[in-house]
Amino acid sequence: MSSLYTEKIRQNADLLVPISECPLGDPITECPFIPYYAMKDERKQMEQVEAIPQKELDELRKFHRACMAKYRSGEWKPTNPKRKAM
């Protein structure tokens, strides 16, 4: 079992929630986080941050931020929301 307290995981902590589950409910079809949801193990999902190249993590972050902006602007509504987005 690897540690979740690594420098890389701390630096990318903002990605732990979207890697674990879509904070808006069901993800959109083109969501790049879907393969991580299929793991159905939160610890394994979070450990992936160590394995994913930083460039890809940066792309995931960019996608997530754009997705959140579309939600906040009302451009799209999530289906089956699990919790209220911040």
Report the number of distinct structural domains present in the chain: 1
Q: What is the mean pLDDT of residues 17-44?
A: 93
What is the reported pLDDT for 28?
87
What is the reported pLDDT for 85?
46
pLDDT at 3 over 80: no
- Residue 45 inside a domain? The answer is yes
In percent, how much of the chain has pLDDT > 90?
A: 67
Counting other chains too, the contacts that 50-56 makes at CB distance below 8 Å and 24 or more residues apart are 50/2, 50/6, 50/8, 50/9, 54/8
- Residue 68 inside a domain? The answer is yes
| 49-80 pLDDT tens trace | 999 999 999 999 999 999 999 988 988 776 76
- Residue 60 inside a domain? The answer is yes
